[in-house]
Amino acid sequence: LHLRPLWHQKDDRIKAHIFVCFLSFALWKTFGLMCKRAGLGDEPRRVFDEIKKICMVDVVLTTTEGKELKIRTVPRPDKPLQILLHKLGLRLPERLTKRIL
């Protein structure tokens, strides 16, 4: 992770920037620990490079009435990526549902 000085105008922005950097660092270290516990080494960069291949696809279907239905799906990853996700204890959803907050 690279941290460099940024010239924020207000103290609140400086604190927010430092907080986001800390969260990023904590997340990276947690992911590294997950990789180590799964027997994948202690450097998560390669694992992260594999996981970032996961994508999401919107399938748009048109009904007979002319309305469009959009289904958001996650394609099934290839076998090596499935094994990697299994070792990390992660499961991909088959379909994503729309949530209203």
Q: Where are the domains of the chain?
A: 1-43, 53-101
The SS3 assignment for 69 reads strand
Is the pLDDT confidence value at 100 over 50?
Answer: no
pLDDT in tens, 18-64: 899 999 999 999 999 999 999 998 788 989 999 998 988 888 999 89
The SS3 assignment for 62 reads strand
Tokens of residue 97, six digits: 């549902």
Q: What is the pLDDT of residue 101?
A: 41
Whether 83 and 75 have beta carbons less than 8 Å apart is answered as no
